[in-house]
Amino acid sequence: MNLLALFRPLLQLSFKTTGVYLLLIALTLAISATTALKFSNVQIQNAVALQAAEMLAADLVLTANEPIPQEWQQQAKTQQLKQSNVTLFSSMAHTDQQFVMVNVKAVDAAFPLRGELETEPKLNRSIQAGEVWLSPRAMDLLGVKVGDQINIADAPFQVSAKIIHDTNQELGFSGFSPTVIIAQSEVARTNAIQVGSRIEYRLLMAGNAQNTQRFEKLYKQKFGDQSEDRAANSDHAQVQDAAQSSLKLRNASEGNTRLMKPIANLETFLQLANILTILLCGIAIALTSQRYVQQNQDAIALMRCIGSTKQQILSAYLALLLVVLGLSILFGSLIGLGLGYGLLQLMLQLIPNLQLEFSALSMLLGPLPIAIFTSAIVLLGFVLPSLWQLLGTPPARVIRQQERSVRSMLWMLSFGTLSLVVFCVVLTENLQLTLWLICAIIFLCVGLYMMVWLSLKAFKSWGTKISAYIRTPYQTAIQITALALGLSLITVLAVLRTDLLERWQQQLPQGTPNQFVYGLPPFELQDFNQQLKLHGWQGTPMYPNIRGRLVAKNDLPFSDALIKSNNSLRRELNLTQAATFPKDNQIIAGSQHFQQVNEVSVEVKTAQELGIQIGDRLSFSLPEGILQAKVINLRSVEWESFSPNFFFIFSPKTMDENAGSYLGSFYVPPQDKNQLIGLIQQFSNTVFIDVSLILDEIKRIVSVLVQIITILALLVSISGILVLVACLNLFMDERKKEVALLRSFGSSKQKLKSMLSLEVGLMGLISGVVACIFAEVISAIVSYKMELVIQLHAEIWLILPLVMTLVCTLIGRYRLSYLGDIPPLESLRELNS
């Protein structure tokens, strides 16, 4: 018998059964869902990169406390990067009546390289000499409008525009303080920069990804060489120390860590959505392929009996699977393109001014081939072992449809699981997270299967009424485990979505400080606190802020290699002293309180990076000399909070508080905002930052992320529903023959309905409970990876068992009730067909 003669009836027979259609749907969903998720993952990453670059006004920014050395500007030119120079410093802006401390940003004609600087009136040109652009708060504080004249230090300027949207705000709080923009050429005229002034010089760069990456690599290599040169104590290296020690390169993703922090877990969530979708689609493919193979046992037996060889049968089935895969590719590609386009349009609607374009070609050449290839691997991984086992069985044994051996099932599970791992790794490119989840799921499946099987076996041996509904404990345990796994994977995303929202909301509780103040002179501290109390504005303690460098540990200087790798050793740090620690700091190890003078508390990650332990003696270089302090504890710091935080906190009276200034934060209710102007004018030497601008930006980003992860969760849920349908279809296939046999023995329709309802309902109840265990363990693993608080979710323990019991009971009563209407004689024929 030739292959075509064998293939044609097999194709006709297969498409008369429901198994091949479910297999087709599972493959189509796997291809379309994973293609859309992979595409949307890339687009979301691009969107975040563009948003970050706009906040940075460039792709790369090189910053220093001294003028940027010419060699770096030459290197940027060599790498064909566009450049813009920016100088930032604080100064006094004043009119005849008002004096305000402002953040001065001096820019050149090329600024900004990314994003747009919006002004009112709209000026399609760079700022000119003699002009100044003011932020809204600066305008309100100075009481000026466009056309008026103000002074910045010693130089007069004319206000030519109000800043509607500023860019280059990567330095967090300082980027949102009252800002004025002047031309770079006007800095000298102000006479604001004097010896001891705090200035930041920035070299902004933009270009294609390849050129920026080359510059980053060159910077790292060059900085390492310079560190080695300094180790040689050459005179030239010592001269360059001041400029190079503060030199720091930032890319767009590192530009504004406080503002971009809410999206830090988005990448992990996207990868998790990919993995869960892949697992659900893989489970659906596994279940539907097994159902398809079982439905073709008789056809295989018949082909063996009429003389077809194993090679011919295998070739015919491979050709059939190729047809199914081809149809799945066609439908999956169309649906995947539609889903990808829809997700992109959603992002374009949610994120304003986003410059992303949909490219069907890039999608067809990128995510789609990977999805097709890996879906084919999963299909073959689950189907081929089963087919091979059936082909190796004698025809007479196949006709009697003996139970499959445990060995064959283990082979099938091994190949199938391996194909799923390959599928997940290829699509997510995250081996660690994939292995964590796969290993956890395998251990859970084995452990919970054994627990369910032993429990069902024990119930059956008791001889109670429930025992009548437990006929094959090992098969029922497999169905319950598969059903619970599919249900739990749907639940995990919903649970993590809630956890992420709670985490983001906890960062912005009611009364979160929306005003940040620094540079408050010590002699004004008492009056400032009295004013806050008078207005009823709650805030954090005011912390003394003293600049200093960490220079030694236990009287030994830090190594050049450590200085090179750790930025906290290359720059001045904000140091403080306090009797108590900030509320969101937690003591990880050591004493809970200071005991005496010259003690210091260290942030735990900094201590780990620098090898600092409790009991070490640290040396700091301060303006008045070297200060030594003993480490008494290590503490965690919530850097995402809108309260002052420090790497090092000293015990009271260790430092001279009058040697620096004070900083803190406080909350001003919206209805009191008009009173804030008077406070700012009263303390004109202090910098006030409106943190509400940051809060608004975070809320906007969070709202975007919420809608994105909701869409992804819905997409994963579709895959999960298919798994549930596949599980229940396998269950119903087995029950059809049992119902046929019971009908032939005269069982009533009502009794059959009650039996099926109770049996399927019991399976649903157990599946719901097992799904809760699955969901809690998996979500705990992912929460740990995403640095979220691991917690139990009481709601799912109430909802899942009840919902699954109800759904399965209804399915058992109404989906299988038609079997009771089949006449007994027809039931016997159905049983023996």
Report CA torsion sign: 190, 194, 196, 201. Answer: positive
Query: Torsion over CA of 332, 337, 342 and 346, rounded to 10 degrees?
Result: 120
3-state helix, strand, coil in the chain (%, to 5): 60, 15, 25
Same domain, 40 and 76: no
Same domain, 253 and 140: yes
The answer to whether 147 touches 162, Cβ cutoff 8 Å, is: no
* Token pair 């708060």 in the structure block, residue: 137
Helices 310-350 and 692-744 cross at an angle (nearest 10°) of 150
Strand ranges, E, within 505-622? 515-520, 543-553, 556-557, 573-577, 586-590, 599-603, 617-622
Q: Residue 7 — very low, low, confident or very high, per pLDDT cuts 50/70/90?
A: confident
Model confidence over 525-548: pLDDT tens digits? 999 999 999 999 988 899 999 989
Gap between the Cα atoms of 379 and 360, Å rounded: 26
* Helix, coil or strand: residue 572: coil
Q: Residue 48 — very low, low, confident or very high, per pLDDT cuts 50/70/90?
A: low
Highest mean pLDDT among 363-372, 382-391, 756-765: 756-765
Helices (H), 683-811: 692-744, 749-785, 794-810
Same domain, 296 and 347: yes
The answer to whether 587 touches 560, Cβ cutoff 8 Å, is: no
Percentage of residues of the chain with pLDDT beyond 70: 69
> Which has more pLDDT, 182 or 806?
182
* Token pair 């799945």 in the structure block, residue: 328
Same domain, 117 and 244: yes
Same domain, 693 and 759: no
State residue 505's pLDDT score.
Answer: 62
One DSSP character per residue, 347-403 reads HHHHSTT------HHHHHHTHHHHHHHHHHHHHHHHHHHHHHHHHTS-HHHHHTTPP
Same domain, 360 and 382: yes
* Token pair 């403080």 in the structure block, residue: 576
State residue 554's pLDDT score.
Answer: 93
Last residue of a domain, one of 244, 261, 278: 261
Across 802-829, average pLDDT: 68
State residue 333's pLDDT score.
Answer: 83
Report CA torsion sign: 606, 607, 612, 618. Answer: positive
> Which has more pLDDT, 690 or 672?
672
State residue 131's pLDDT score.
Answer: 94
Helices (H), 508-539: 525-535
State residue 497's pLDDT score.
Answer: 72
Same domain, 275 and 254: no
The answer to whether 731 touches 34, Cβ cutoff 8 Å, is: no
For 61, phi then psi, to 5°, come to -135, 125
Q: Which helix (H) or strand (E) holds 330?
A: helix 310-350
State residue 45's pLDDT score.
Answer: 65
Q: Is the pLDDT of residue 752 over 80?
A: no
Query: Torsion over CA of 305, 309, 311 and 313, rounded to 10 degrees?
Result: -30
- Burial category of 282 from C-beta neighbours within 10 Å (exposed 0-12, middle 13-18, buried 19 and up): buried
Model confidence over 756-779: pLDDT tens digits? 777 778 878 888 888 888 888 888
Instruction: Round the average pLDDT of the chain to a whole number and report it.
Output: 77
Across 175-185, average pLDDT: 80
Last residue of a domain, one of 261, 280, 309: 261
Q: Is the pLDDT of residue 160 over 90?
A: yes
State residue 568's pLDDT score.
Answer: 82
Tokens read off for 600: 């210091």
With left for phi above 0 and alpha for psi between -120 and 50, is residue 541 left, alpha or beta?
Answer: beta
Q: Residue 49 — very low, low, confident or very high, per pLDDT cuts 50/70/90?
A: low
State residue 237's pLDDT score.
Answer: 33
* Beta partners for residue 162, in sequence order: 120, 134
Last residue of a domain, one of 673, 698, 723: 698
Same domain, 388 and 505: no
> Which has more pLDDT, 246 or 35?
35
- Neighbouring residues of 114: CB distance < 8 A, sequence distance ≥ 6: 50, 53, 54, 56, 57, 58, 59, 167, 206, 252
One DSSP character per residue, 49-105 reads HHHHHHHHTSSEEEEESSPPPHHHHHHHHHTT-EEEEEEEEEEEEE-SS-EEEEEEE
Highest mean pLDDT among 305-309, 317-321, 505-509, 820-824: 317-321
Q: Residue 239 — very low, low, confident or very high, per pLDDT cuts 50/70/90?
A: very low
Lowest mean pLDDT among 24-28, 489-493, 671-675, 803-807: 489-493
Same domain, 479 and 594: no
> Which has more pLDDT, 169 or 711?
711
Across 472-485, average pLDDT: 74
Q: Is the pLDDT of residue 808 over 70?
A: yes
State residue 729's pLDDT score.
Answer: 66
Model confidence over 51-105: pLDDT tens digits? 666 667 788 888 888 888 888 889 899 889 999 999 988 888 889 888 888 889 9
Amino acid at 504: W
> Which has more pLDDT, 364 or 27?
27
Same domain, 69 and 40: no
State residue 765's pLDDT score.
Answer: 86
Across 22-50, average pLDDT: 73
Same domain, 614 and 589: yes
State residue 699's pLDDT score.
Answer: 66
Gap between the Cα atoms of 48 and 264, Å rounded: 10
Structural domain that includes position 75: 59-261
* Beta partners for residue 557, in sequence order: 552
For 649, phi then psi, to 5°, come to -125, 125
State residue 507's pLDDT score.
Answer: 59
Q: Residue 412 — very low, low, confident or very high, per pLDDT cuts 50/70/90?
A: low
Q: Is the pLDDT of residue 647 over 60?
A: yes
Tokens read off for 739: 């119902």
State residue 410's pLDDT score.
Answer: 58
Chain center to CA of 715: 17
The answer to whether 438 touches 424, Cβ cutoff 8 Å, is: yes
Highest mean pLDDT among 42-51, 128-137, 269-278, 399-408: 128-137
Q: Residue 612 — very low, low, confident or very high, per pLDDT cuts 50/70/90?
A: very high
Tokens read off for 1: 């018998």
Same domain, 582 and 719: no
- Neighbouring residues of 45: CB distance < 8 A, sequence distance ≥ 6: 267
**Domains identified in the chain, total number:** 4
